[in-house]
Structure 1
């Protein structure tokens, strides 16, 4: 079954990087506790203070429900507050036969 993939590229000021990494576990815990269909996430550090968050969802509806909730829990809010600005956001699906690990 295909998985919904959310790709968000964002900028974090250098002085916020340590905090971003420190609050990431709480954000993931809040997602696991509060977001139906959340399958996992990978955070990738790119060049020039840019980051890519790759988040896997069971369905497009699960992603839409998550977006509607926004930063409703402390761990999520703390993570989002470290982001200077979002550069891009895209969604897609995996090809058949792939499963998240």
Structure 2
């Protein structure tokens, strides 16, 4: 699991939400091991992106690619600042 918390300025929220479907489509097409993602809106302009990966290796490979496709770049561009990024393992 990838848990990324970030801030988005109010004027960028619409761009973030508009870019989300394209980002997901890019991940599905280009990121091996991508299983799905949920975006959670938190108070005070913060968001939490919960991304599920098949393995830690798939997550690491995805991280190395960065914003390599237009949908991923548009989503990343709407983010103002990173608050935290963590990796975890889903327990049954």
Tell me the TM-score range normalised by the shorter chain: over 0.9
Question: Could you tell me the TM-score, scaled by structure 1's length?
Answer: 0.90
Give the deviation of 1:95 after TM superposition.
Answer: 1.1
Q: TM-score, normalised on structure 2? A: 0.99
The CA RMSD over aligned residues, in Å, is 0.5
Match of 2:33 among 37, 43, 51: 37
Max Rg structure: 1
SS in 1 for 2:38: strand
- What is the aligned length? 92
Runs of 4+ in 1 over 6 A off after TM superposition: none
- The unaligned stretches of length 5 or more in structure 1 are 97-101
Task: Work out the CA distance in 2 between the residues paired with 1:23 and 1:69.
Answer: 18
Q: Gapped runs of 5+ residues in structure 2?
A: none
